[in-house]
Amino acid sequence: MNVSGLHEGKFDGIFNMPIYKLNENNDFINFYHELEQCDFIFMQHHAEKWGPFSTAALSQFFDITMLPTMESRISTPQLGYYKDKIPDFMVYVDYRMLHLYLTNVGIQNVVEAYHSVRFSSEKQTTMLKEDALKYRTLFQQGKLYFDYSEEYFRTLSANADCYSTVSHPDNYNLSLLLQVIYHKSLGINESFDLQGNDLLKNYVAPKIGSGDNAYHMMRPTGLALAGKINYAFFDSQNRHALKQALVNSSYYISLEDRYQNL
């Protein structure tokens, strides 16, 4: 089935809304109205910090089919979440840049220093195994609709770059979600080929060690400007909190020991 015919004659309507874009005061009632009209609701886990939009809250009132979060700690590991709010189009903190910031590397030297660390392949393999086990355990506990563990481990073992960021899988992995949605809602066993460019490849940082200076933060940005944006954000934050975020990040955990200098 081609992409242009995915919904023809099968769905009357599709409501798709990223939770992080919702405002509790402005969107709460409208969002619940939309959910009430849905025959099927598919969701990835959202923690309690999302309030009435969290998985725990919504599950009290709606029948929700839980899908895997599809997150990779080994794909562009320097791009990661930050616990506090960051500017909308920033999306991720670059933890390599945070490492440089906290070791007092000036902004004028960021481009030169960016690629001068290496990741441990052994640590990244361990992280991949841990995350595959996490997906399997969640399925066995009845918290996920399907077991993603084998495909997750297989695809990322073959190519860590099949995720362009921690939360942006390629079209093949996205097609697994679509396959499950069709099976749950229509009873159809269908495989999909999401043709063309990867749908979620809109935020791309260089592969560390490559020497590449290309950077895409929802638009062509370049490594130098990405450094300025990240440094400006770091200047607005508590330095102790930044350090804690760094040492707990996938980036820092997966570095070779000799580069873990905080």
| Total domains, the chain | 2
In this structure, are 20 and 60 located in the same domain?
Answer: yes
C-beta of residue 117 within 8 angstroms of C-beta of residue 208: yes
Helix (H, G, I), strand (E, B) or coil at 246: helix
Among residues 216, 220, 242, which one has the least CA distance to residue 231? 242
In this structure, are 91 and 50 located in the same domain?
Answer: no
C-beta of residue 72 within 8 angstroms of C-beta of residue 130: no
Round to whole Å and give the CA distance between 216 and 229: 12
In this structure, are 8 and 57 located in the same domain?
Answer: yes
Amino acid at 57: A
In this structure, are 107 and 12 located in the same domain?
Answer: no
Among residues 136, 131, 132, 133, which one has the least CA distance to residue 147? 136
In this structure, are 213 and 109 located in the same domain?
Answer: yes
- Where would I find the H helices in the chain? 24-36, 55-59, 95-102, 110-113, 121-140, 149-158, 171-186, 223-235, 239-247, 250-253
**Where in the sequence is the domain holding 105, given as residue range(s)?**
79-119+203-259
Give the pLDDT confidence score for residue 47 in this predicted structure.
85
Kindly state whether residue 140 falls inside one of the protein's structural domains. Answer: no
Kindly state whether residue 153 falls inside one of the protein's structural domains. Answer: no
Question: What pTM does this model have?
Answer: 0.87
Kindly state whether residue 87 falls inside one of the protein's structural domains. Answer: yes
Cα dist. 59→31, 53, 63, 182, 259 in Å?
A: 14, 10, 6, 21, 43
What is the distance, to the nearest Å, from the Cα of residue 1 to the centroid of all Cα atoms in its chain? 27
Give the pLDDT confidence score for residue 1 in this predicted structure.
32
Helix (H, G, I), strand (E, B) or coil at 63: coil
Give the pLDDT confidence score for residue 201 in this predicted structure.
86
Give the pLDDT confidence score for residue 3 in this predicted structure.
42
In sequence order, what are the beta bridge partners of 163?
169
In this structure, are 97 and 209 located in the same domain?
Answer: yes
Kindly state whether residue 220 falls inside one of the protein's structural domains. Answer: yes
Q: Which residue has the tokens 């940082």?
A: 205
In this structure, are 63 and 83 located in the same domain?
Answer: no
Round to whole Å and give the CA distance between 216 and 222: 7
Kindly state whether residue 210 falls inside one of the protein's structural domains. Answer: yes
What is the distance, to the nearest Å, from the Cα of residue 136 to the centroid of all Cα atoms in its chain? 19
- Digit-by-digit pLDDT tens for the chain (262 residues) are 334 445 556 666 677 778 877 888 899 999 999 999 988 999 999 888 888 999 999 999 999 999 999 999 999 999 999 988 888 888 899 999 999 999 999 999 999 999 999 999 999 999 999 999 999 999 999 999 999 999 999 999 999 999 999 999 999 999 998 888 888 888 878 777 777 778 788 899 999 999 999 999 999 999 999 999 999 999 999 999 999 999 999 999 999 999 999 9
Kindly state whether residue 194 falls inside one of the protein's structural domains. Answer: no
Kindly state whether residue 146 falls inside one of the protein's structural domains. Answer: no
